[in-house]
Structure 1
Amino acid sequence: MDRRIAIKNILATLGLTVSTSTIIGFLESCSDNKVAEVSVFFDKTEIYLIDCLVDVFLPRTSIVGGKDLNLTQFVDKMCANVLTIQKQKEIKLGLNEFLKKFEQKFNKEASEVSVDTCEILLDICLNISKEKEVEVFKLLESDYSSLSKHSKSKCLLYRFLTTVREFSFLGYFTSEIIIKTEKSLLS
């Protein structure tokens, strides 16, 4: 499949409209494995959390994982350049909700987040019954401003997690390495 068509299709399913050249620019700038890359949306602690989440969502197996492709920087740039100001605020608030859950569950500071603790917390948040899953999806589709305080915090948490996951997958499945790997496996 043509990389540009794949990007457009994925963006359409996410309900986003961004030029293909913008996405390709993000992918190319993130794939260089730059160690000292400067984040544009998340601060240092937040970028480390995103890095842990990317590693849980797309771990390294027999093929490269999300961290190998530097998808943390891709997620950071997508949040900064694609999301509306309101969505950016919601992502930051959702990240804070995730960190609150982390601190409650592990009785540790945000700086002590690890891949293992993220995996445990994600299991708690995402391994839910079908009933609760339907409730979460309804919550995500609802107007944030009309929600109760409890529902707002839950909505923010899930908006944060789904956005990081969707941007991670977008970067992963449109990366040149993965497309070439997929083509070679199909041959």
Structure 2
Amino acid sequence: MERRVAVKNMLFALGATVSASTVLSIFGSCTEDAKTGWVSTFYDPSEIKVVHNLVDIYLPKTSIVGGKDLNLAQFVDMMSESVLDEEKQAEVKLGSKVFIARFEEEFDKNIANGSKEDFEAFIALYMNVPKDKEDKVFQLLDTPDYKLLPKSEQQDYLLYTFLTTVRTYSFLGFYTSEIVEDKIMELT
């Protein structure tokens, strides 16, 4: 399948309203900037550490490349800055702060000292949930104005907004990567 068609189909599947050329441009920039020493422009250093760990958990290296190999943390950073509107950007940033605060409370350590195992265990608390809890999370994320929710639910809304944004852009970057596309074509 032609790469632009694959990108377009992926965007439609995700319900995104961003052009394929934008995604390809950002992805191309990521691979170039990675060689020159990239610095995050949307997430601060502690947040980008979280994004790096999430990318590695969502898309670990297997018989094909993983999210780290494709510099997907950089892709997530650039997509968050370039594609999200200001309101959603603010929610994602607040969600990353909720993630960090809860992580540090759970493990009684600074996020910078968190191991991959810590991150995996923490993500499992929120992403490996029973079907009824999953349904509640999706209902929560469909809330038109999260500020009208009770405080505890606001925090959950923000956390899940951050987690799902990172996951969505990680998978988008992964499945629109030429390297992955070529590998998948080899296997079929």
Structure 1 and Structure 2 fold alike (TM over 0.5):
yes
What's 2:164 paired with?
162
TM-score normalised by length of structure 1: 0.95
Query: SS state of the match for residue 6, structure 1?
Result: helix
Q: What are the residue-to-residue correspondences of 1:38-53 with 2, within 5 Å?
A: 38-53=39-54
- CA deviation profile, 1:25-50 (whole Å, cap 9, x unmatched): 11111124426102110112211111
What's 2:19 paired with?
19
- CA deviation profile, 1:55-103 (whole Å, cap 9, x unmatched): 0110111111000000010000000000010100000111111111111
Structure 1, gaps ≥5 residues long: none
What is the distance in 2 between the residues matched to 1:114 and 1:71?
19
What's 1:30 paired with?
30
What's 1:86 paired with?
87
What's 1:181 paired with?
183
RMSD: 1.2
- CA deviation profile, 1:120-140 (whole Å, cap 9, x unmatched): 101111111111111000000
Aligned positions, number: 186
What is the distance in 1 between the residues matched to 2:167 and 2:65?
17
User: Percent of pairs identical after alignment?
Assistant: 47
What's 1:102 paired with?
103
What is the distance in 2 between the residues matched to 1:142 and 1:3?
34
What is the distance in 1 between the residues matched to 2:115 and 2:170?
18
TM-score normalised by length of structure 2: 0.94
Quote the offset at 1:142 in angstroms: 0.9
